[in-house]
Chains A and B, each alone.
Chain A
Amino acid sequence: MPPAKSPALRPSHLPPVELYRPADLGELLAHAADGVHLLAGGTDLVVWASQCGEPRRLAWIGSIDQLQTLDITSDRAHIGAAVTLSRIVRSGQFRSLAPAVVDGAAVVGSVQLRNQATLVGNVCTASPGGDTIPALHVHDAALDIVSAAGDRRSVKISDFVHGPGQTGLNTGEVVTGVTLRGLGQREGSAFSRFTQRNALDLAIASVAACLSFESDGRTVARAHLSMGAVGPTVLDADEAARSLVGHPLEPARLRNCADLTAECCRPITDHRASADYRRQLVRTLTMDVVDAAAERAIPGWLAVEAP
């Protein structure tokens, strides 16, 4: 969890830390109950620890086999908490099941970061701009959580992230993985984000779309749109998504849908971008990802003129 506030002018320095390497989930839960922070890829946590001088007690989850699993069936996938983004990006099977998630995982940080960072870590960081979260939304993902007492529960991702850096994880609980729904027939998904640099950057707006078509191959049967970096959490654009359902995906309808997403997002102005520019990006990204998702659902389909 990121610290609420880092002391303004404290020099960045990683203090000495106590590092535990639990061999199984039971040991990990014991550490978690004891207030030890969980270390997955560490690409966020080590930076915070350097900036804030804490946490100083960490338990690394990487040696727990159970958390390294990447289970893929015909219609769903389970990604263990220690599975790195690189593993997801490299899995062809996973790509055909949830292409939008791969779109997001593939642009996090840099190659070196992705080799280290985990998908579940990206979710638990709970950044409004987390690159995998919008795609997990449109794939109806749920977090698999286990408590210190061994009780298991499953929480929808939209219920899990409460705000920047805030999740619904209770003290002593551990996220063991995330389960998501794979694409069905005539269904496609895509994610796109806007950054000012081609690597090592954070999204200033992002959109994911999942779209399925009726058997006529033209009429939209189901749609799910989700937006990142334009609100305190990733937001679902339900009205915009509904506007597509039951109709062929024509340019005017797509433009209208893009306008609806731009209207329903709640961006802020900060040093990265202004609110109205973020709205413009959401509008543009919506057109791009709906187009890309449709193309993946029905290859050869091009709703709007290609650039």
Chain B
Amino acid sequence: MTGEQPATSSPAPAAAGVPDRARGLARYTADLIPPGTVLVGLARSPYAHARVSSIDIQAALKIPGVLAALTPADFDDIALGHQGADEPVLTRVARYVGDGIVAVAASDQDALLRGIEALHIDYEILPHACSVDDALALDQPLHPAFLDNVARRFSAERGDWEAAQKRVSTWVEGTFQTQAVPHAYLEPRATLVRVYDDRLELVTGTHFPSVLAETYGEIVAGWGARLEVVTPDIGGSFGAKWEHPTHLVCLAFAHRLRRDVAMVLPRRDDMISGRTRVAMRIQMRIGATDDGELIAKETMIWADNGAYTGHGPSVTLAAAIRMDNLYRFSALNAQAQLIYTNNVPSECFRGFGSPQSAFAQEQLIDELAEQLRIDPIELRRRNAVQPGDTTLHGWQVGSCGFNDCLDAIKDRIQTHRRENPMATSDRYRFGYGIAGATHAISNRGYDHRFDRDMMSLAVEPNGVLRIESGEVEIGCGTVDLFAGIVADHLELDRERIRLVLGDTATVPHGLGCFASRTAFFGGRAALDASRRFAQLCGRLAIDIGLPADTAIASVIEAAVTANRTMELRVTGSYEPDHVTVPDESGYGNISPAYTYATHGCCVRVDTATGLTTVVCYWAAHDTGQVLNPQRARGQVVGGVVQGLGFALAETTLVDDRGHMQNPGYLDDRVATFADAVPIECIFTPTFEKEGPRGAKTIAEPPIIPVAACVANAIYDATGARQWRLPMTPEWVWRSLCAKGVLAPDRTAD
């Protein structure tokens, strides 16, 4: 069974949830905290690496308003992290500046701060490492089980490397450094726990309510309590809001005090203890024949896991191999290691490792094109993966519009060049760049038990159709597509449909909003539920004495009259049958379909300051059929602007003691509206037979090629290759100085 014929009408008009956000009506976790709720705060380590030698909470407990304190001893048997299980809730060994040591609960904020200040914690300072090189050289393991500080190693060798090497006539190579950036969601982490007898209700903005319910549920069961997770509106996440120690601290206080408790992280705390993109050093070389056939690619990655393991292992493996699937290589060799450091723990982030590897790969493809004297778009076109291919990593390519994306960008750049003769001067240089990208939809390797989605449809006594989904509205309006698909399939009025989301007590299981999967998996589950519902309506119609082909709306109306709405309840699901759990090297068809993109841009580089200004940006995406053009465009524009921040400005700066120097948006320069650039979104539609109504997905792909695209444009403008992110004005200026391309009277001191 496939995802059905093309959509005949646009299934999703104006967003139900998004205008609420725009109008300030969304209610985030912090908005739900009633006055009088117990407030929770943490004493954090000021040291990057230190053993806690003693804790004295007595003075703090004497402060009026302080209700209780928790120490590492209260959580000794708990370690968080799906892929590492190495993060204590409160720690006896601080592994980064900001690691939580003691938690305090108090009746008001002033008492809370005084309580935290009254804690007495002694530390024995240990040597620390805030870079992968320092960590590899450190003779002290950060985690006892990992003597060399290597948390994970990956190796993926495909094809006949020896034979392939012999066919290579030209190699290009480079070492690229990408940076850790915070996810920069607007809503800091916030947690509210409500207590109902033996049931704890965790209210928090997460895109994985059922995952949290499962993980924390087992822990809470050990306390003799039950857990449900409720997700209110989420103020952004981009991959960050999984498990977090603060959730368990709040659950423990609520359970112990039998009172509702809450914790909202101040921005600075959120940034020093939140998560970041996995920083990577990527050493890569690519070999080709003289006539431009890509033959072999070799990748070595040193990835910074930070202090604890989030999804760094999956991200690192993805960075090592995923972008390979864009071209028809003959042989591949990827080695990667994920290294513990005393930095903030890393986590998955929109793009899942591919923005990092694209920065390396797509620049090297351009290098190769220059050396072989082949147009960079033509070189990509000749080697592009095609529909029906099975890549060396086992990806079974269904629909693939990469060539169309390349053609669209070629067309835009040619037109722009023709219509805008560039006023290149000594000081200002103009250049064009392109970069390609591919991405999976969901990841069969994430949960080895299954990768599926469920959706229930039920008619309420008044005839309103209720959709229940375990998926989460994360702010892009995605779940509204579900209502659109159901309304369209059943020919129902959208006003008569209600979405119920985000409470694990009432909705069916959903794996969560990650890996660009929600629209695809949820959309297919919505279609399946709609089909089942239509069948049910057909049977009920006959039973009531109506023709079997009576319109669904009329059957529902008849069911209301006959008091038989309770019979109209179905659950649909989607679980792709041709995906495989990848092996340790990442081999496998991890996704039911794959997306493709090409970006192009024109930049102006001010050689006197190194400032790069993006003059024009084009983003071409193969996302299958576009179900909602406005939303899809929103994702692309958002991804590109976020990508420009990653490319040009955002970073995490750490001083030699391991303190983050820029824990705020003043110095972590996420792009503002004033930094947005003209972006043209181009959809080059394919029809993905596995997708809902031929659609694929658009969430993550738009950020993947951006840094590489801008880097290639800077090179085109100046001749200075960009090896390091972010490409800040100072860094670009230094690369120009090194290259000697500055105007003669403006050279460096």
Residues on A close to B: CB < 8 A? 8-13, 15-16, 53, 110, 194, 196-202, 255, 262, 271-274, 276-277, 279-281, 283-284, 305, 307
Contacts and interface: CB of A to CB of B under 8 A. Distances in A.
A305 B425 CA distance: 10
Contact of A10 (B113, B428, B728): B113
A307 B730 contact: no
A283 B266 CA distance: 39
B671 A197 contact: yes
A271 B653 contact: yes
B495 interface: no
* B669, B746, B749: residue with the most chain A Cβ atoms closer than 10 Å: B749
Given A9-B46, A272-B667, 11 more contacts: A12-B266, A12-B269, A13-B266, A196-B669, A196-B728, A197-B675, A199-B675, A202-B666, A271-B667, A276-B749, A280-B746
Contact of A9 (B44, B428, B661): B44
B125 to A, nearest CB: 15
Contacts of B729: 194, 196
A304 B667 CA distance: 34
**What 10 A-B pairs are tightest by C-beta distance, nearest first?**
A198-B674, A199-B674, A12-B266, A284-B608, A271-B661, A199-B672, A277-B730, A11-B266, A197-B669, A271-B653
Interface string B584-598: 000000000000000
Contacts of B98: 9
Contacts of B499: none
User: Contact size class for B?
Assistant: 35 or more
Contacts of B113: 10-11, 13, 53
Contacts of A200: 665-666, 672
B250 to A, nearest CB: 15
Interface in B93-121: 98, 109-110, 113, 116-117
Given A15-B110, A199-B672, A271-B653, A284 B746 contact: yes
21 contacts: A10-B113, A11-B116, A13-B113, A13-B266, A15-B109, A15-B110, A194-B611, A197-B672, A197-B675, A198-B675, A200-B665, A200-B666, A201-B669, A271-B655, A274-B730, A277-B734, A279-B749, A280-B608, A305-B425, A307-B425, A307-B428
A11 B269 contact: yes
B271 to A, nearest CB: 11
Contacts of B82: none
Contacts of A201: 666, 669
Contact of A280 (B46, B661, B671, B749): B749
Contacts of A262: 749
Contacts of B653: 271
A307 B743 CA distance: 13
Contacts of B46: 8-9
Contact of B733 (A199, A271, A272, A280): A280
A201 B268 CA distance: 17
Interface string B264-293: 001111000000000000000000000000
B674 A271 contact: no
A47 to B, nearest CB: 10
Nearest to B42: A11
A305 B116 CA distance: 61
B649 interface: yes
A53 to B, nearest CB: 7
A198 B672 contact: yes
B543 interface: no
Contacts of A9: 44, 46, 98
A281 B672 contact: no
A196 B669 CA distance: 8
